[in-house]
A and B are shown apart, each in its own frame.
Chain A
Amino acid sequence: MTQRLFFSLTIIIFSFSAFAQEKYTINGYLKDAKNGENLIGATVYVKEVESGTATNFYGFYSITLPAGDYTLAFRSLGYSVVDRSIQLDQNLRIDIELQSEGIELEEVVITDRPEDENIVDIEMSVEKLDISTIQKLPPFLGETDVIKSIQLLPGVSTVGEGASGFNVRGGSVGQNLILLDEAPIYNSSHLFGFFSVFNPDVVQDVKLYKGGVPAKYGGRISSVLDVRMKEGNKKKVGVNGGIGTVFSRLTVEGPIQKDKTSFVIAARRSYADVFARLFTDILDDGAALNFYDINLKVNSTINKRNRIFLSGYFGRDVFRQDSRQGFNWGNQSGTFRWNHLFNDRWFSNFSVIYAQYDYGLAFGESDFDSFDWDSEIETWTFKPEFTYFANTNNELTIGGEVTNYTFEPANAVAISSGEVSDISVPTKRAIESAVYIENEQKISDKLTLKYGLRVSNFLYLGETTVFEFEENRVPGERRELVSERQADDWEVIESYTEPEPRIALNYRLNNRSSIKASYNRTAQYIHLVSNTVAATPIDVWTPSSNNIRPQTGQQVALGYFRNFQDNGFETSVEAYYRPTDNQVEYVDGADIFINERIEGDLIQGRGRAYGLEFSVRKNIGRLTGFGSYTLSRSELLVDGINNNDWYPTRFDQTHNLTLSAFYELNERLTLSSTFTYITGTPATFPNGRFEQRLVGDIAIPYLEDDQRNNVRIQDYNRLDLSLTIDGKKFKRGEKRKNEDYWVISIYNVYGRRNAFSQYFGQDLDVREVDANQLNAQTFANRFSVIGTIFPSVSYNFKF
């Protein structure tokens, strides 16, 4: 299979080369003139041929044209355009630094047209958020947050405020591939999900693929969130930071060797505990309550052909009752990348990636009575990728990926009165690999096609214990163990191979509008086992095995993109349909922690999600902003749940409307607002109750028809406001060296008690006296994560 694929690759490449004679290549990097950061997705437009290309993730572009005279326009949103006339009679290297438009936004609007990238670009179902937009949005609990910002985009939702992760087009949290500088982040939350692991001060670029996922990405069936870190100012040393309600932040960046090597180091830490120590002794004797993260990146341009990058992330949440007992979790990742130009048209990148997530819990007051439990997932990935800029009409990408997984579901030791009991769950191992090829081809001025194939394989390997469960299960109930055996080191216990075709097309109707369509199939071999409303830090990733099949998803999407008023308004409508297979659900009473037979408690079923997404974006004028409306459905069909009928997922949201607006009051003041309206979350309500006297006067809820998510709780709506006050640019007539700004925000302006959930409980104040009393007072409650107006202030600086 693989051999044949490479053979066909070779043929394709040669055929491209064949008609590339008498042509020359222009290539180079586009950078920000101020700090030397690479510009991702900046465009190079050749006026004479009315076509062009865009820079890749490393800011690199390459374009091949017949010999002749050309005028090139280098542009990127928010930067002044650079025009360059060239005489093309040999291969050229042109590195360009673009000047940021800075505060002259108004003028630029008049002198230059904004990009029509959304019309021209083949990508659909892709959301880009630049960090300056994220920083302008009213913050959640006073903290700018990448994942909370993403939730404002069409097709993206969450199970509620304070919940970890996000849901894309009806997919679950564990079906998103979250990458930080290419390294997978297995749990994106701080503080149980209130905040995400991304420090906004070092995020350069956030891109979310909801559909039309390029062949280079794989491993999750719902979406890809690709977060790229800043590379560090190559020109001068800069420091920025700030204090919010929760975090204090500091970033230092600068050149190690001017224009060649730069670094950035950033740290964030919660500081509530620092204050708490002053007022209470609850944090004495080893107790701790804090969370922090550190980002580090170094990149170096060795020469015109070689660049290397090293980036790392380390984050941790620590909750400790005393020096012995507590709970902590965190991600660690490291990426080494090497960009190499083989020649003017062959761009390559090699990445070696380490990623790890672990958590630990400890209880017990002495060495004689203790309970220690930790869990870990660790991966090493090697990823070569080659891009061949064949000519102006073809851009070919081929690559591969190999990941070695080690799962330690639970290393747990219980010591009871000095007797030690090791209750660890066996370590699991797996290798996931993939090869892919993808070509983006301009068929005509109007039609662009992108077609590719990814073939992925997953090997579930020994050494581990292999469990075999009964074949025919009672639907919805635990599968009983039939046998278990020990698999040898490197023994292939199970192997899966999935083809993943990816196709996209863009048909330009005219300069202002285009139609796009895409189809993709994706496979997911590792599963986030989580049966609670929101994902928790102690959820465990488990591999596909002889008992768990890989999840697969397909998506077709169709979109219409139209810009108005010289691209001042961008609008789009997209429709999608996503059928999925082997989604993971749980038997009632599933025991998902420290359970070596966990696979017997998992059930797999089908999913379907479909929807319509409307999006509007206003880019010009003093009032800018974006809005989205999503009409959607997300359902599951699982044998043994909901009477074997389709039921909505917890994040099924019929209507989801968000409006974000920014108004520049004057040079220093910007008013921002966000409004959100969401259909009430599906919930399961009981109808009846019954008791068992010996258990006590406890009303046991009963659902007559055994339905799941049969009711909707109240609708959700919320308005947030924030005011950004930029510090004075001049002081006593002189330009200030440092910049600073304050953000004053009000979350939930009208103090609505939006329900996270409605639940049913009973009064617990009455102790049973008479065993014959069966009169526990039952009630319904509404829980709001933020049920009041929540004001906050943050201060940010840069010098």
Chain B
Amino acid sequence: MKDFLIASLLLILIISGSCDDRIDVDLPFSESVLVVDAWIDNLPGEQRIFLSRSRPFFDTLLPQFVNGASVQVIDDQGDVFDFEERDPGEYVWTPPTPEETFGEIGRDYTLNVEINGDEFQAFSSMNDVPEVDSITLKLEIEEDFFPDTSYFAEFFARDLLGSGDSYWIRAFKNGQYLNKPSEINVAFDAGFSEGGNIDGLIFIPPIRDGINPEEENPEDDNEFLSPFQPGDSVFVELRSITNEVFDFLVEVRTQTDRPGGFSEIFAVPLANVPSNIVPLQNPDQQVLGMFSVMAVNGLGNRFGDDDIRISD
């Protein structure tokens, strides 16, 4: 939708003298606050939680890590998962046996963090997640703003019955995670949002198509590169998330996907993204970040010539 608006506005861009340029802005930064980075899933292997502090907006050095904290996750049966500090600010839970994975679908989890006597808490649940049925590759001829022959991937999965399920779809092209803000792909049931009320269906097309990398053609500003080529591989990771995490990811995308140009006319005001971390001693204390426990299903595909579907 937004892409289409922007595409339409390209015409005006041609006739008008709009421009976008870098400027220097002084952003006063007074004090950093605690950042909790606790995204845990049921994939094999260790689970990591990071504690650090926020830094000035233009800072590109590594964040300042928070050492010596006690980090613990407890499930609703009272089972405790201890996260031990390995590197500064990195707290790790190692499965007792290599086959064992973290947690169980349907359980609720509490995160407890203690730093120099200050305590922080957050809640999450591991919800169920459907299988990814298939991934296909489509050949599109003469798609506007793309090269004449372009390949688009599409995945198929069906939302679980019952409304209120949230999912996060992470896509990888040739093993590389698609990490641009505009590539954050989330679903509420099979659609975009809670108010949409699309339950139990195969994810709607914009979500299915949301696994294609967005790369501008370096030689032509008004064109994108073909997202895939035959022979490329794609991996789709479908994660169950809580509605809180859904809102967080939507807001991260809104706040960080700033392609500039005419989309600025329809930008929403900058605002803080939500956090589910609660400071226990001092309710006014600012804390950033999320605690999210997720179940994951994934599927990969390397596109041979036989996999290509020609778009009708």
Contacts and interface: CB of A to CB of B under 8 A. Distances in A.
Interface of A: 141, 160, 162-163, 191-194, 245-246, 272, 276, 282, 287, 289, 319, 321, 325, 327, 361, 363-366, 369-371, 414, 416-417, 419, 421, 423, 425, 531-534, 536, 588-589, 591, 594-598, 650, 683-704, 706, 708-709, 748, 753, 756-762, 764, 767-769, 774-790
A761 B258 contact: yes
Contacts of A683: 270
A369 B208 CA distance: 11
Given A361-B1, A697-B179, 9 more contacts: A289-B8, A421-B201, A534-B265, A594-B193, A691-B37, A701-B57, A779-B58, A783-B264, A785-B16
A591 B265 CA distance: 18
Contacts of B269: 531, 533, 650, 684, 708-709
A777 B20 CA distance: 17
Contacts of A762: 181, 256
A733 to B, nearest CB: 42
A685 B194 contact: no
Given A141-B16, A693-B37, A366 B266 contact: no
Contacts of A695: 39, 179, 184, 249, 252
Given A588-B271, A698-B252, A769-B176, A685 B260 contact: no
A694 B293 CA distance: 12
Interface in B136-190: 144, 156, 176-181, 184, 190
A588 B288 contact: no
Contacts, number: 290
Contacts of B290: 692
Contact of A685 (B5, B7, B25): B25
Given A688-B56, A756-B264, A781-B22, A272 B62 contact: no
Given A371-B205, A589-B254, A596 B195 contact: yes
Interface string B15-38: 111111111110111111101010
Interface-centre pick from B29, B63, B190, B264 (highest chain A CB count, 10 A): B264
A779 B156 CA distance: 37
Contacts of B62: 774-775
Interface stretch (B47-55, B98-106, B111-119, B298-306): B47-55
B123 to A, nearest CB: 16
Contacts of A531: 268-269
15 contacts: A321-B7, A327-B4, A531-B268, A589-B254, A594-B193, A650-B269, A688-B29, A692-B39, A709-B269, A758-B23, A764-B181, A767-B178, A780-B23, A781-B258, A786-B18
B202 interface: yes
Q: How large is the interface on B (under 10, 10 to 19, 20 to 34, 35 or more residues)?
A: 35 or more
Contacts of A769: 176
Interface string B261-276: 1101111111111100
A36 B12 CA distance: 40
B177 A696 contact: yes
Contacts of A276: 11
B266 A698 contact: no
Contacts of B59: 689
B97 interface: no
B206 interface: yes
A479 B206 CA distance: 28
Interface of B: 1, 4-5, 7-9, 11-12, 15-25, 27-33, 35, 37, 39, 50, 52, 54-63, 144, 156, 176-181, 184, 190-198, 201-206, 208, 247, 249-252, 254-256, 258-262, 264-274, 286, 288-290, 311-312
A703 B271 contact: yes
A779 B37 contact: no
B266 A533 contact: yes
A425 B35 contact: no
A591 B195 contact: yes
A419 B57 contact: no
Contact of A194 (B1, B12, B206): B12
B64 to A, nearest CB: 11
A218 B59 CA distance: 52
Nearest to B39: A694
Contacts of A788: 17, 19
A775 B198 CA distance: 38
Contact of B177 (A162, A246, A595, A768): A768
Contacts of B249: 695
B203 to A, nearest CB: 7
Given A595-B193, A757-B264, A419 B20 contact: no
Given A780-B23, A780-B25, A689 B55 contact: yes
A692 B193 CA distance: 23
A365 B4 contact: no
Contacts of A192: 5, 9, 262, 265
Nearest to B184: A695
A366 B58 CA distance: 45
A197 B32 CA distance: 50
B24 A780 contact: yes
A522 B85 CA distance: 62
A246 B61 CA distance: 49
B22 A759 contact: no
A601 B57 CA distance: 29
Contacts of A598: 195
A698 B179 contact: yes
A448 B28 CA distance: 56
A768 B173 CA distance: 12
Contacts of B208: 416
Interface-centre pick from A321, A371, A775, A781 (highest chain B CB count, 10 A): A781
Contacts of A371: 204-206
